[in-house]
């Protein structure tokens, strides 16, 4: 199959979040499976300084944006470790900026125009590059117009007629909503600005546009595909998703075993695998305690959390539990990440008051994140919602038992120890359903009791998690099935 993945970011060229990881890993795995993928994204300033070789193709083009004609150009690179071509849509007025989507905490005011241009340019690039495309895979609101253009302006153009479109929702909370007059920028007929298609409460909604016009829809976990068909996680689009549920699929993201593998991890003081975790992990724990200034105690559970310090990630629950536990329970805590100022202030204060029990690093450090996964005993992810989540899968691989709330991808990947609904499935962590500090606290207590009182059962839990395969190969195979099914529907 020939697959063109249209995305607003991709590792290692440009990244703000998980979309970049998916867009960087999936096409490489698709190539390993024998397919012919390619990636296309904006030529941001960030891409020019990412360390990868990028060559100009000497191809210029013009696309209409509202009442004006805008010129762009094409350049090319290759995904590292593969032969997957990566194409860039360059237009300095739109993309030569410090950040991808905004500055100083605010979105760029011309984001609609920027990604109208990008979406239209994606379709033009297919012709200009003479690409053979069986499936055009668009992602999130920034490419929501791609399926729409395919079904309207390019519907009767021979090269495009048989192209099947897949549209993936990575986080439905971000929808790309703009004032109604931006409809003029798209070049599409005003007849499409109605509540069935592109209009949403009086605004132009680019995520909704993709959901309406794509041949097939996917999101990043099976549970999340169910959750977004209902209030509140549907974010106002639950009715549309219920209507299109027959073409909606949930496919969990994978992790890169070359990057996240404790047996080969260059960031660790001691490497280990499932057979040697009993020797290697205690050494990583002691080294982490020393690095972070915590008391070096082997038998005290070390509980970690890495990520954005926001309410969505459950840090209101984590903060509540730590404040209660630090005075009455024998445990150590590690927090790594940045986010809402209220959490910066709170966790810094706690770390100053209890330096032997709490270590806080208000930064992002990839190397430290690896050492935390390897050195911690438990990893917290009590998210309000979590479309997929990756840290819980990293934790499984590194023998850090996940403690999660049963939502989205967390529910799809973590089987809670002692939960009666497991129906014989082997447990690999702990989970709870009610979003409350009490539920989180009780679940952590159950985990700590097992850790201290039943070391054999704890070791079994760790072993099961470390031997599970959450690599991209499984996920890529599911995407291949989705692509083939979508092509079949397109040709009926």
| Exposure string over 186-220, b if 16+ CB within 10 A, otherwise e | bbbeeebbeeebbbbeebbbbbbbbbbbbbbbbbb
Lowest mean pLDDT among 140-144, 372-376, 425-429: 425-429
Chain segment 169-226, per-residue pLDDT in tens:
999 999 999 999 999 999 999 999 999 999 999 999 999 999 999 999 999 999 999 9
In sequence order, which residues have a C-beta less than 8 Å from that of residue 279 and are 6 or more positions away? 270, 272
Domains of the chain as residue ranges with CATH: 2-254+473-490 (3.40.50.2000), 277-469 (3.40.50.2000)
The pLDDT score that the predictor gives to residue 492 is 61
For residue 381, which of 358, 399, 361, 404 has the smallest C-alpha distance? 404
Helix then strand then coil, in percent of the chain rounded to 5, is: 40, 20, 35
Size (the chain), residues: 492
The predicted structure's pLDDT at residue 490: 74
CB 384 within 8 A of CB 309: no
Tokens read off for 65: 């944006």
Mean local confidence (pLDDT), 401-425: 91
Secondary element (H or E) of residue 102: strand 102-103
Element (DSSP H or E) covering residue 247: none
Between the CA of residue 208 and those of 176, 248, 342, what are the distances in Å?
A: 9, 14, 33
- Residues 418-433, mean pLDDT to the nearest whole number: 87
State the average pLDDT for the chain: 96
Instruction: Give the pLDDT confidence of 464-479 residue by residue, as tens digits.
Output: 999 999 999 999 999 9
List of long-range contacts for 130-133, beta carbons under 8 Å, 24+ apart: 131/2, 131/4, 131/38, 132/2, 132/36, 133/2, 133/3, 133/4, 133/163
User: Looking at residues 392-400, what average pLDDT do you find?
Assistant: 98
Tell me: the pLDDT tens digits for 250-285?
A: 999 999 888 899 999 999 999 999 999 999 999 999
pLDDT, position 246: 97
Q: By mean pLDDT, which of 46-50, 71-75, 291-295 is the weakest? A: 46-50
In whole angstroms, give the CA distance from residue 261 to residue 282.
Answer: 17
pLDDT single digits (tens) 305-346? 999 999 999 999 999 999 999 988 889 999 999 999 999 999
Percent of all residues in the chain with a pLDDT value above 70, rounded to a whole number: 100
Q: Take residue 182 and report the two structure tokens written for it.
A: 């931006």
Between these two residues, 104 and 72, which has the higher pLDDT value? 72
Give residue-wise pLDDT tens across range 14-39.
Answer: 998 889 999 999 999 999 999 999 99
Q: What is the mean pLDDT of residues 119-139?
A: 97
Q: Which of 78, 387, 340, 103 is nearest to 228 (CA)?
A: 387
Q: How confident is the model at residue 422 (pLDDT cuts 50, 70, 90)?
A: confident
State the virtual CA torsion across 145, 148, 152, 153 in degrees, nearest 10: 20
For the residues 85-94, what does the mean pLDDT come to?
98
- Mean pLDDT on 454-463: 97
pTM above 0.85, yes or no: yes
Q: Provide the pLDDT for residue 372.
A: 98
The closest of 82, 166, 83, 157 to 126, measured between CA atoms, is: 157
Asked if 228 and 386 count as a contact pair (C-beta separation under 8 A), the reply is: no
Mean pLDDT of 281-306: 96
């Amino acid at each position: 199959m020939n697959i063109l993945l249209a995305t607003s970011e991709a590792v290692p060229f440009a990244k703000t979040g998980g979309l970049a990881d998916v867009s960087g890993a999936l096409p490489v795995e698709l190539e390993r499976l024998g397919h012919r993928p390619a990636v296309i994204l904006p030529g941001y300033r960030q891409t020019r300084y990412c360390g990868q070789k990028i060559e100009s193709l000497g191809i210029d083009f013009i696309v209409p944006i509202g009442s004006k004609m805008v010129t762009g150009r094409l350049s090319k690179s290759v995904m590292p470790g593969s032969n997957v071509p990566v194409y860039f849509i360059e237009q300095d007025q739109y993309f030569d900026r410090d950040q991808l989507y905004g500055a100083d905490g605010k979105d760029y005011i011309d984001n609609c125009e920027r990604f109208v241009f990008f979406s239209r340019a994606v379709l033009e690039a297919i012709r200009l590059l003479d690409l053979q495309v069986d499936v055009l895979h668009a992602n999130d609101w920034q490419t929501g117009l791609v399926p729409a253009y395919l079904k309207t302006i390019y519907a009767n153009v021979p090269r495009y007629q048989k192209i099947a479109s897949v549209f993936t929702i990575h986080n439905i909370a971000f929808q790309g909503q703009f004032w109604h007059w931006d409809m003029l920028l798209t070049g599409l007929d005003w007849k499409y600005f109605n509540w069935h298609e592109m209009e949403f409460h009086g605004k132009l909604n680019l995520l909704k546009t993709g959901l309406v016009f794509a041949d097939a829809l996917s999101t990043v976990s099976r549970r999340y595909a169910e959750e977004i068909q209902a209030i509140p996680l549907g974010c106002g689009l639950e009715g549309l998703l219920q209507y299109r549920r027959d073409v909606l699929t949930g496919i969990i993201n994978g992790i890169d075993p070359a990057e996240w593998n404790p047996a080969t991890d260059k960031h660790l003081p001691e490497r280990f695998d499932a057979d040697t975790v009993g020797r290697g992990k205690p050494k990583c724990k002691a080294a982490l305690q020393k690095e972070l200034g915590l008391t070096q105690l082997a038998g005290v559970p070390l509980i970690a959390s890495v990520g954005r310090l926001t309410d969505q990630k459950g840090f209101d629950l984590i903060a509540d539990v730590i404040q209660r536990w630090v005075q009455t329970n024998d445990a150590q805590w590690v927090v790594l990440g940045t986010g809402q100022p209220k959490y910066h202030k709170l966790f810094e204060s706690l770390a100053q008051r209890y330096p032997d029990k709490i270590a806080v690093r208000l930064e992002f450090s990839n190397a430290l994140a690896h050492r935390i996964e390897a050195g911690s005993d438990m990893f917290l992810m009590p998210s309000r919602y979590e479309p997929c989540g990756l840290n819980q899968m990293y934790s499984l691989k590194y023998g850090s038992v996940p403690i999660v709330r049963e939502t989205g991808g967390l529910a799809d990947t973590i089987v809670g120890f002692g939960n009666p609904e497991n129906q014989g499935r082997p447990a690999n962590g702990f989970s709870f359903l009610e979003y409350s500090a009490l539920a989180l606290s009780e679940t952590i207590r159950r985990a700590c009791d097992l850790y201290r009182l039943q070391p054999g059962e704890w070791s079994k839990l760790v072993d099961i998690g470390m031997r599970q395969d959450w690599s991209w190969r499984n996920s890529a195979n599911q995407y291949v099935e989705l692509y083939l099914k979508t092509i079949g529907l397109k040709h009926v």
